[in-house]
Amino acid sequence: MLTLENIQAAKMKVAPYIYETPVVRLHGLDELLNCNVSIKAENMQKTNSFKLRGALNKLLSMPLEQLQQGVVAASSGNHGKGVAFAAKLLNIPATIVLPDSAPSIKVEGIRALGANVVQCKLAERHDITEKLSLEHGYAIIHPYDDYDIMAGQGTVGLEILEQFPQTSAIVIPIGGGGLISGVATAVKSLAPHIKIIGVEPAVVSRYADSLIAGERLLLKEQKSMADALLTLQPGERNFPIVQKLVDDIVRVDEASIESGMKTLLLAGKVMAEPSSAIGIGAALQGNLPITKNDHVCFLISGGNVGLNQLHNL
């Protein structure tokens, strides 16, 4: 189960090894997004994404003898980088299974942390991870469907409440649902009036669709600029939490994801990866359930984007 207490305990474990990233007020975006804009800048986190929090909490919660066998993780990149960082800290071997399509900045970042990288087709990454686990005895570090991972990600929520208590809505990118499960649990426990809004690519709207269906739908593989949000099915442990605690899920089209990244960079002067600027895209698209007076905190989940990706904007 995931509780506020788990998340508070996770904070004790991970705080010494992560940055308390800033909440930054971006006045320059208020008019464009039609609300009072702040960001929680996890693009400025160590490893440049929030994923480090969950990975650290997971590894710091595992028995030593299991850790010493090594760990393996399937990832689009950011979770892998978090696991690689945590493994390096604990001096244990890590293997990260990435899709062939992962941006080179993510692949290189993981290798630079000393982890072994295996690349494969997107759809095969979980099978290959299991095979490696069986062959070598590696412990699988799941990117989202795990309570320790969710508790780690939830520490972002605790920080937002401390740094920016006047927030009235938090907008959170959704892939498998690890981040939003953690943040929603923390925030709704302590400040239930704050709206929690999930944003996902319209081409892989697994959460919006599954919530309507009332069950975890498995979608077909799609391409999206939001390379970190391509998970095809809500996590088993994440889905009921999202059902219970999340106020709204908004689908964001590809053009708006790109505009979100561009607007955050050119008007906001902050660089984030497309998957992380998707909330800004949702606001530009005009269908976020917020009003002009809302103090909206956009959770900018990561910043692993290379100059080569900027050149395509």
Helix (H) or strand (E) holding 127: helix 125-136
What are 41's strand-pairing partners? Answer: 300
Q: Does 270 bind a copy of itself (CB under 8 A)?
A: yes
310: three-class secondary structure by DSSP: helix
Q: From residue 197, give the alpha-carbon distance in Å to each of 60, 73, 262.
A: 30, 28, 21
Structure tokens at 73: 């993780």
DSSP 184: H
Residue where the block lists tokens 């972002």: 156
According to DSSP, the β-strands at 295-300 and 116-120 are unpaired
Give the span between the Cα atoms of 47 and 79, in whole angstroms.
Answer: 9
Q: Does 218 bind a copy of itself (CB under 8 A)?
A: no
Q: Which of 43, 95, 231, 263 is the binder for a copy of itself (CB under 8 A)? A: 43
Nearer Cβ to a copy of itself (129/276): 276
Q: Does 266 bind a copy of itself (CB under 8 A)?
A: yes
Q: Does 255 bind a copy of itself (CB under 8 A)?
A: no
Least Å distance, CB 22 to a copy of itself, is 5
Nearer Cβ to a copy of itself (18/98): 18
Question: For a copy of itself, which stretch binds (CB under 8 A), given 8-16, 139-147, 216-224, 264-272?
Answer: 264-272
Count of residues engaged in binding a copy of itself, rule: CB under 8 A: 25
Q: Which of 121, 126, 244, 269 is the binder for a copy of itself (CB under 8 A)? A: 269
Give the span between the Cα atoms of 63 and 301, in whole angstroms.
Answer: 29
Least Å distance, CB 216 to a copy of itself, is 34
Non-local (6+) Cβ contacts of 301 within 8 A are 42, 43, 49, 50, 78, 172, 173, 179, 228, 272, 275, 276
Q: Which of 7, 33, 35, 41 is the binder for a copy of itself (CB under 8 A)? A: 41
Q: Does 162 bind a copy of itself (CB under 8 A)?
A: no
Give the span between the Cα atoms of 103 and 305, in whole angstroms.
Answer: 8
Q: Does 112 bind a copy of itself (CB under 8 A)?
A: no
Contact between 158 and 182 under an 8 Å Cβ cutoff? The reply is no
Question: For a copy of itself, which stretch binds (CB under 8 A), given 19-27, 126-134, 147-155, 280-288?
Answer: 19-27
Q: Which of 26, 139, 199, 284 is the binder for a copy of itself (CB under 8 A)? A: 26
Nearer Cβ to a copy of itself (243/308): 308
Q: Which residues sit at the interface with a copy of itself, rule CB under 8 A?
A: 19, 21-22, 24-28, 41, 43-44, 46, 48, 265-266, 268-272, 303, 307, 310-311, 313
